[in-house]
Amino acid sequence: MPLFTEQASSWRDLRVFPSFAPPLPRLTTPFNPPEDPIERYEVLIAGAGPAGLMLQLLLSRYGLTDKSLLCIDSKPGTLKSGQADGIQPRTLEVFKTLGISDEIETEACQMWEFAFWNDADDPAKGIARRCVVPEVIPPSRFSYEATIHQGRVERIMESDLSRYSARGVMRNAELVSVRIDDEDAQFPVLAEVKVNGVMRVIRTKYLVGADGAHSVVRKSVGLNLEGQSLDHIWGVVDVVVDTDFPDIRRRCAIHSPAGSVMVIPRERISTGEYITRLYVQVPGVVESETSADADLGKDAKGRRGSVTLEGILKQASDVFQPYYIRPRREDAVDWWAAYQIGQRVCPEFIVKDSSGLGRVFIVGDACHTHSPKAGQGMNVSMMDSYNLAWKLAYRINGLTPSSSEDGAPNPLLDTYHTERHANAQQLIDFDRKFSTGFSDKVGTAESKSGLSHSEFVDLFSSGCGFTSGCGVEYVGNLAVDKSSVVRSHPVAGESEFLWGILQPGRRLLNIKMKRFADGAHRDIHDDLPSTGRFRILSLLSTDLLDPNGVSATALNATASLVRQFPASILEQIIIHPRMRGEVTWENIPACVKEQAEMSFYSGCELDNAYRVYGVDAARGAVVVIRPDGYVGMVGELGDVARVDAFLGRIICPTP
């Protein structure tokens, strides 16, 4: 359209262009390190693998600037030696709330199905398919597990990071040692870092060790991984295969008389071909090891050293009989490795200063290692950071009740260990069972575990809540109030929570709703972007149109509550059930339009929110959702006092 008059405001571009996450409010004074020769930060992150990058990305989005936040990594460029490749549904949900899931959705391999193969009834015939089950059983926004090279995942996070941090990751910077030194009470963590070969001393308020299984941070503060290795050696290879095995594009567990193999289909590569990852059990056993931080390779070194690519491929070929499998060409192998299964966890994830305030944290492989069979590594590591980031940012920005007292213990920070250590322990217990089952001659007389084939499939299926990341449940603590659960019916078993029944400590299941203001169909997870905000989800009751009813009273009380806390820290999501009368802006409390015009939904026209979440529409409920998407508490609609008390323990009211 040809215009003949046009006028743009000077502020237009700033307002329409950005799409940056809004930083958290900061009640403490902006960070200005003292002007002396000592280099100081609020947070130093050691290690830029998935866990470290996720933490840096979140803290940067929450508003920590390059002046306040430093992430170092000893390698010269983006990590290329990573071997993880699985992204679980829950991790995809989180990536989606960060707006960075698209490339993975489009380019990764989507694993929808898991095939189980065993000895054929006639042993001469080799292996036969027993069953195919869905890879992801519990409901999730994503019905598949994605597989893609870890380097791609890191690049995606780093690209997004570049929008928030000019420095990005400082490379060629090796952490040498860490200690807590109370001399400088504000910056009690002292780190020695070798940058391009030159030693620098850095002081920081908080330090996070995301530096992997051989963590310098962990060793420096005197912590150890505790646990044991199992007695099996496995080889793993990424390869473009030539095969007539019909399920090569499904995840497979193959148990044959010749041994076990797990097939992980992988993404398409630049040649247009698709990679396959094979986990191949190496015949024979080595001794189990029980050790603290055992340096693998001391014992049984001979056996391990004898693992070769040719041996792995030969073994795979034997297991796949009567099918053939081989590299498609000479240059078809991208990567291979060998490992001994082990499960280890660090007993403490936090080291405190003399006043009891957590100062050093460890995340990811630095605090737990396990076998790759359940596809957990990269996911659990990033979720450690996802759990820690908002707690750390709240402390630093002075948003927690005890933030104001410098050096006082901070109960919110402590919940990082409470929640993630218990989770790591569960992971390791599951992994031990699952990887034992894998290495075992399942369903045969020789089985050590005694697992039958169907018990092994059951183990996978029941573990799926856990392995998908969707079934994680945090224990009760300051940020998870299990005492006040409101439900429409008593819950018979765990699996009901997987299917969406509200439970403090579990993530809120995604549902689709119709928005009142514009009729848009919207995922509730899109109202939970990873911006560090708490959300109060009100599931209104059927009396909404009664100005003196429970719903109207609750809405007004919640609106007042929101105003008592720092601006923007509490967001509202409001859902109404099917009702007799027509809902209009005029016949509901004005505060809905004022505070939640674009997050007010019908909970009955698309998914039935009340049925999914297990809430009686006649009674309603109020739910507090934490910045990481987990349910903090579920209270009676109108019991704003309880919400206030819960939030008051975590967030300080506006000063």
Tell me how far apart the terminal alpha carbons of the chain are, to the nearest angstrom.
52
- Minimum separation from the CB atom of position 4 to a second copy (A): 5
- Minimum separation from the CB atom of position 526 to a second copy (A): 7
Q: Which helix (H) or strand (E) holds 560?
A: helix 550-564
**Binding positions for a second copy, 86-105, rule CB under 8 A:** 99, 101-103
Query: How far is the C-alpha of 457 from the C-alpha of 252, rounded, in Å?
Result: 11
Q: What backbone phi and psi angles, to 5 degrees, belong to 113?
A: -135, 150
654 CB contacts (<8 Å, ≥6 apart)?
564, 565, 566, 567
Task: Name the residue among 531, 543, 536 with its Cα closest to residue 576.
Answer: 543
Residue closer to a second copy, measured from CB, 27 or 213:
213
- Minimum separation from the CB atom of position 320 to a second copy (A): 15
Q: Which of 34, 185, 246, 560 binds a second copy (CB under 8 A)?
A: 246
Q: Report CA-CA distances (Å) from 236 to 119, 295, 363, 414, 597.
A: 22, 20, 25, 38, 53
Q: What backbone phi and psi angles, to 5 degrees, belong to 260?
A: -120, 150
Segment interacting with a second copy (CB under 8 A) among 201-209, 413-421, 491-499, 514-522 = 514-522
**Binding positions for a second copy, 556-575, rule CB under 8 A:** 568
Q: Build a one-symbol-per-residue string for 254-273: x at contacts with a second copy by CB under 8 A, - elsewhere.
A: -----------x-xxxxxx-
Residue closer to a second copy, measured from CB, 39 or 293:
293
Segment interacting with a second copy (CB under 8 A) among 86-94, 327-335, 420-428, 482-490 = 327-335
Residue closer to a second copy, measured from CB, 227 or 504:
227
- Minimum separation from the CB atom of position 7 to a second copy (A): 5
Q: What backbone phi and psi angles, to 5 degrees, belong to 256?
A: -120, 165
**Could you tell me the maximum CA-CA distance found in the chain, to the nearest angstrom?**
87
107 binds a second copy (CB under 8 A): yes
602 neighbors 591 (Cβ within 8 angstroms)? no
Instruction: Count interface residues toward a second copy (CB under 8 A).
Output: 90
Residue closer to a second copy, measured from CB, 324 or 585:
585
Residue closer to a second copy, measured from CB, 320 or 416:
320
376 neighbors 431 (Cβ within 8 angstroms)? yes
**Binding positions for a second copy, 519-558, rule CB under 8 A:** 519-521, 526
250 binds a second copy (CB under 8 A): yes
DSSP state for residue 260 in the 8-state scheme:
E
**Binding positions for a second copy, 293-312, rule CB under 8 A:** 296-297, 304-305, 307, 309
- Minimum separation from the CB atom of position 71 to a second copy (A): 21
Q: Report CA-CA distances (Å) from 275 to 19, 261, 263, 307.
A: 35, 16, 11, 22
Q: What is the dihedral of CA 74, 70, 394, 33, to 10 degrees?
A: 140
296 CB burial (10 A radius; 0-12, 13-18, 19+):
middle
**Binding positions for a second copy, 154-173, rule CB under 8 A:** 155
34 binds a second copy (CB under 8 A): no
335 binds a second copy (CB under 8 A): yes
4 binds a second copy (CB under 8 A): yes
Q: Which of 39, 66, 226, 274 binds a second copy (CB under 8 A)?
A: 274
Structure tokens that stand for 654 in this block: 């506006």
Q: Which of 25, 139, 151, 549 binds a second copy (CB under 8 A)?
A: 151
340 binds a second copy (CB under 8 A): yes
283 binds a second copy (CB under 8 A): no
- Minimum separation from the CB atom of position 14 to a second copy (A): 7
Q: What is the dihedral of CA 483, 485, 491, 493, to 10 degrees?
A: -50
**Binding positions for a second copy, 418-457, rule CB under 8 A:** none
